[in-house]
Amino acid sequence: MQSTVLEPLTRTIFPRAAAADVVSVSTSPATGWSQRTRSLLGVQIVSTGSYVPDRIVSNAELQDLYGCDSGWIEQRTGILRRRYAAEHQATSDLCIEAARRALRAGSIDPRQIDLVVVGTFTPDFQCPSTANIVQEALGLDAPAFDVSAACSGFVYALATAAQFVATGNSRMALVIGGDTNSRIVNPNDQKVAPLFGDGAGAVI
């Protein structure tokens, strides 16, 4: 693929966008179609944090719970163990702890956070969003919303927050991906149940 044009984005819609934000227009040799890709320069991850529940569930335990063969699980997935949330833990609890660890790791004042985006498909409630619960728990004065896109939810949440930062509508965004998959997995599906655990990861 050969790049043919490199031009700055127009500033009429997002006047605060970084000057380094560019659109690359290239032509695919396979199809001959023009393709446009955007580079969001000036957006960076400054801190990360993660949290997994204490309960460790081994393949042998799943064999007892679901009737799965522990050797079959390891041979086909490479997974030896996964974490399950305790009964009193909701998705927001995992997200809050991951966020706190990210804030501590980067020595970041929570008052600097001006956007919260959570990627999850196991929210505490349909409304309010899990992001709102995180926002309240951390004492943040920031817009907050969820993104639901199954396994790719965190990627979409990160891309969404990056757009806010790149356009100058956010200076420091908190992005979290968290799920309690053990609550929704079908225990009768022996090929799927062993694949998922619970946890959360956060980036700033």
Q: Are residues 69 and 13 in the same domain?
A: no
Q: Do 160 and 64 fall into the same domain?
A: yes
Domains: count for the chain: 2
Task: Report long-range pairs for 34-37 (Cβ below 8 Å, ≥24 apart).
Answer: 35/1
3-state secondary structure of 184: coil
What does pTM read for this prediction? Answer: 0.78
Let me know whether 85 and 134 are in one domain. Answer: yes
The fraction of the chain above a pLDDT of 70, given in percent, is 79
Judgement on whether residues 98 and 187 belong to the same structural domain of the protein:
yes
Residue 182 lies in domain? 48-203
- Together in a domain, 166 and 194: yes
Q: Note whether 10 and 73 are same-domain residues.
A: no
Q: Is the pLDDT of residue 24 over 70?
A: no
My answer on whether 111 and 25 are in the same domain is: no
| Average pLDDT of the residues in 115-137 | 95
Residues 75-91 pLDDT 10s: 878 888 889 999 999 99
Same domain, 96 and 196: yes
Domain co-membership, 153 together with 56: yes
What is residue 5's predicted lDDT score, i.e. its pLDDT?
35
Q: Please report the sign of the dihedral spanned by the C-alpha atoms of residue 56, residue 60, residue 66, residue 68.
A: positive
- What is the separation, in whole angstroms, between the first and last Cα of the chain? 33
* Whether 110 and 147 share a structural domain: yes
Q: How confident is the model at residue 31 (pLDDT cuts 50, 70, 90)?
A: low
For 168-190, the pLDDT digits (tens) are 899 999 999 999 998 988 877 77
